[in-house]
Amino acid sequence: MDMSLINADTVNLLSRITGHELEEEDLSPPVVFLAALVSVLLGVIFVDQQVTQEEIQRLKITLRQFLPPSGNVSELVKLMVKGVRQQKVYQNPNDWSLLTASFSESEKLLMIVFGYEMSAADGDMDEREKKYLEIVANRLGLEPQYLQVLESAFSNPASVDKEYLEKVRFLLDPVWFHDLDSVFVKAASQMLAVLPVVSEKKKSQQHRTISYEALQAFQEYKRQLDRKCVDIYQIVQDCTEREFLSPSLIEEIDKVSKKLQSQRFRVAVVGEFSQGKSTILNALLGEEIQPVRDIPCSGTVTVLRYGEQKRVICCYKDKRQEEIPLEQYQEKAAISEEAALGNITEGLANSEVSKISEIIFEHPNGT
């Protein structure tokens, strides 16, 4: 969400909706998103002029999952629901545009997904509700084909365009919501689970071919490098015998050559939270060693190396080391879910993870 696009008009609109004089600093990304979400959900509820108990219950459940355990956001959302309903904000396209001006495409789509979930809450997706969502989505600049994917997911299971299914799944990837808030990461994950799964058969075959070609190229580069090392070694040896170069160069080249021949090297797996780092390591090992979830999980550096037996060594910042049972590894390496869904920095600072410098995991497949 680009908060630089929030202007005085947005502040005035939210002040009017809530009945409170708000300042620009009062508008955090979750608050702005919730205001737009409330408008869309109420629009779906009221467009067919039949408010059901299932829809009221779904509204409460949907909004509750975005509310932090403390703070004044909960009260603000109650005022939003009241103000949007009384002022019929959901009927005003200009207000939709103003509330969503700072949204990314992923954030717009997530909001519409919740609209489809609301429409299906009473078991019957009314044509007027679908038309309302189409109008809103069109105003937001979303592809009409995205809506076909969502309708198929929530009410009318049918074959969908795989290209657009992949695009929708890509846009709802939890990674796009980390800057918004961790609760949105979890919400995106839940909505992603509702969508049809993209067939991986063809994609996997292509991946294997590309990987094999890349491996062939790597082996050829390695052979070229070996030949260059031999050539350089011979040149340096000849120069050394003629006393043109220091004998120590021969030793250095020999070390480099042996290192190349060993094919042992270190790989650093780094990236943003919940990007698949742990999943890659688990795949390499052939078992679930690293903790995995959609919200931030791993909280410390793990060094994976070869060992004849599985062994975990915990290295603390005060220079202590201790071998810990395998079953304690994930507990030591992971951030608690409570900390991940709250303030990550604060959660890390106050957790056991903050005392650990690294964890060494020795594994027979860790070569």
What is the tens place of the pLDDT at every residue in 216-270?
Answer: 777 788 778 878 877 887 888 888 888 887 878 878 877 777 776 665 667 777 7
Q: What is the pLDDT of residue 158?
A: 64
Q: For strand 321-324 and strand 311-316, is the pairing parallel, antiparallel, or unpaired? A: antiparallel
The pTM of this model reads 0.57
Q: What pLDDT, on the 0 to 100 scale, is given for residue 95?
A: 84
What is the CA 36 to chain-centroid distance, rounded?
A: 22
Residue showing tokens 């550096």 = 301
For the segment 62-113, what is each residue's pLDDT rounded down to a tens digit? 888 877 666 677 888 888 889 888 888 888 888 888 888 888 888 888 889 8
Taking Cα atoms as reference points, which of 191, 354, 178 lies closest to residue 271? 178
* Average pLDDT of the chain, as a whole number: 77
Using the CB atoms, write b or e for 276-310: b if 16+ within 10 Å.
Answer: ebbeebbebbeeebbbbbbbbbbbbebebeebeeb
